[in-house]
A and B are shown apart, each in its own frame.
Chain A
Amino acid sequence: MNKKGLVIWDERLADKGFILDPDNVFWAILCKGEDGGITIPAQALSLYEKTRDSLDGQMRDFRFNSNLTAVYIDPTDRCNANCPYCYVPAQIRKNGRSMDRKELAFILEKISKYFEGEGRKAVIVFHASEPLLVKDIIFEAIERFSAHFKFGLQTNAILLEKDDVEFLRSQRVGVGISLDSSDPAANDRSRTGNFEKAVRAIEMFNGYEGLNVITTITKFNVTGLTRMVRFLHAKKVPCVLMNPVRLTQKSSHAVRPNEKAMAKYFIEAVNEAIGLSRRTKHRIIIGNFSNIILGIVAPTARRLMCDISPCGGGRCFFTITAAGEMIPCGEFIGLKGFSGGNIFRDSIEDAMGSSPFRKIRSRFVEKIDECKSCAFRNICGAPCPAELHAFGDMFQPSVFCEFYKAVIEYAFRLIAQGQERYCFREEAFNNLEYEYKI
């Protein structure tokens, strides 16, 4: 049964209790009385009554509109690494094709036309496999289309040179570097040999605000997340995403971390990041945890699309493969039946309206038995449909459901302690304004 209205808990936060409306994420943290009981102040209830309809509407718009804002482009299928958990099948990485200069320009022109008159720049992210294998054409495109798009690049940094770093900084490109551990041996078990180059690249970026590091949590690095935060903080990295490994491809199952251990070490890493941010001049945030905090205090300001339901795939962004196939998200690249068309033949409008894209947009938490009675359903979003499709049915809870529950509970604790502001960059927090507050 889909729970409607306020859910009340009094055991989750030790000396505090909380009320939460799972549909619109109205929440209030309540003090307990001497007898351990909770009194819900009239002020909180009247605020809820006053804001409920408006919050319901905001949440509905945020979740179900199809406002495309970003396109991921895989300019090549090929990769110079061989990470065991990669969602791009090994065969594609080995034998796949690469776009040429003309094809990439054609795609960017087409995307540019789609966004004409929007009044703001769309985001283009060069992504998996390893985009720097075709460095020349993507750098040329970044320069040529800088007036049309904001650019991002996700790389293992193996081919990243000093001149490239200077170019990316000068073009204000958002750069994600994949690095799994501060321990070279642990990193190279999953990231296959990029440690030295990735660390060198991070040092060359020297605190660049557009840099983030992506750490995929596996059984190899799960105990070292706190050390990783310290390591990256010392290298002035402003943001790290510590993502649980996606089990979309069977090869990734062998590196699956223990879920309880992952929650414990992830929370310790969050604490370390907060402690360092409070004690030192340099702030480091764990971006995917920040997004969970945002999911509670500012749900419609969330940036990561995986923990919104339906997810952002085929709705707020989509991926173009090296062969031009338009798929809802890169995670679907190895799964059959998810192409919404080919960019060289078909329109973006057609892809957005295609049956595979609609299928992903129609997968949301209220349709999942376990999720529709969960109070956190609109904070975690039950990721990821591609991963769960690979497990046989996308209408089931997240593979790491217990991890998300533990982390969300912890997020409420931090909010109760007033520590959430250390989970954001200062300038980002200043871009948020109160809609209401008691």
Chain B
Amino acid sequence: MRRVQKKCRKQNGKWTRPAKPGAISYRLKCAKTANGLSHFVMYGDVDKKQALV
């Protein structure tokens, strides 16, 4: 797990905590659709079952 360095230091008269040496990284995959659909069915396919707006 991420290690957080908690040791504080005094700088310019104020106590500061060093930035956390963290990272953001993730990968998503599409649970429903696959490669190659055009933009017409992208980002929320037009679902036949969905009620008309």
List residues of A whose CB falls within 8 A of some B CB.
26-34, 39-41, 43-44, 47, 51, 55, 62, 65, 67-70, 72, 123, 125, 150, 152-153, 169-170, 172-176, 206-210, 212, 238-239, 241, 285, 287, 290-291, 297-298, 300-305, 312, 316-317, 415-416, 424-425, 427-428, 431-438
Closest Cβ neighbor of B24 among chain A residues:
A29
Given A70-B36, A435-B28: A33 and B23 interface contact (C-beta under 8 Å): no
User: B26–A434 contact, CB under 8 A?
Assistant: yes
User: A316–B36 contact, CB under 8 A?
Assistant: yes
Given A28-B24, A31-B19, A44-B25: A123 and B44 interface contact (C-beta under 8 Å): no
Per the bound structure, the CA–CA distance linking A282 and B25 in Å amounts to: 29
The answer to whether B39 has its CB under 8 Å from any CB of chain A is yes
Contacts of A40 in B (CB 8 A): 23
Closest Cβ neighbor of B32 among chain A residues:
A431
The answer to whether B6 has its CB under 8 Å from any CB of chain A is no
Per the bound structure, the CA–CA distance linking A39 and B1 in Å amounts to: 15
User: B47–A41 contact, CB under 8 A?
Assistant: no
Known: A239-B42, A297-B26; 15 extra A-B contacts, CB below 8 A, are A29-B25, A34-B16, A39-B21, A69-B34, A123-B41, A169-B52, A169-B53, A300-B35, A301-B33, A302-B35, A312-B36, A416-B24, A431-B33, A435-B29, A437-B25
- Tell me, rounded to whole Å, the shortest Cβ–Cβ distance linking B42 to chain A: 4
Among B20, B24, B39, which residue has its beta carbon within 8 angstroms of that of A304? B39
A-B residue pairs, 4 tightest by C-beta: A174-B40, A152-B40, A316-B36, A69-B36
User: A301–B2 contact, CB under 8 A?
Assistant: no
Interface positions, chain B 1-53, Cβ under 8 Å from A, are: 1-3, 16, 18-48, 50, 52-53
Contacts of B35 in A (CB 8 A): 62, 65, 67, 69, 300, 302, 316
Per the bound structure, the CA–CA distance linking A306 and B46 in Å amounts to: 22
Among B1, B3, B44, which residue has its beta carbon within 8 angstroms of that of A428? B44
Per the bound structure, the CA–CA distance linking A263 and B13 in Å amounts to: 42
Given A150-B41, A304-B42: A432 and B31 interface contact (C-beta under 8 Å): yes
Among B29, B36, B41, which residue has its beta carbon within 8 angstroms of that of A67? B36
- Tell me, rounded to whole Å, the shortest Cβ–Cβ distance linking A31 to chain B: 5
Contacts of B53 in A (CB 8 A): 169, 206-209
User: B29–A301 contact, CB under 8 A?
Assistant: yes
Contacts of A174 in B (CB 8 A): 38-41, 46
Which of A209, A305, A434 is packed against the most chain B CB atoms within 10 Å? A209
Which of B22, B24, B25, B44 is packed against the most chain A CB atoms within 10 Å? B25
Contacts of A41 in B (CB 8 A): 2-3, 21-23
User: A433–B28 contact, CB under 8 A?
Assistant: yes
Given A123-B38, A125-B40, A285-B43: A30 and B23 interface contact (C-beta under 8 Å): yes
Among B25, B43, B45, B48, which residue has its beta carbon within 8 angstroms of that of A290? B43
- Tell me, rounded to whole Å, the shortest Cβ–Cβ distance linking A434 to chain B: 6
User: A298–B27 contact, CB under 8 A?
Assistant: yes
- Tell me, rounded to whole Å, the shortest Cβ–Cβ distance linking B53 to chain A: 5
Contacts of A51 in B (CB 8 A): 27
User: A152–B38 contact, CB under 8 A?
Assistant: yes
Per the bound structure, the CA–CA distance linking A123 and B33 in Å amounts to: 13
Among A43, A150, A290, A433, which residue has its beta carbon within 8 angstroms of that of B31? A433
Per the bound structure, the CA–CA distance linking A425 and B22 in Å amounts to: 29
Contacts of A415 in B (CB 8 A): 24
User: B27–A434 contact, CB under 8 A?
Assistant: yes
Among B3, B32, B40, B47, which residue has its beta carbon within 8 angstroms of that of A212? B40
Per the bound structure, the CA–CA distance linking A67 and B38 in Å amounts to: 13
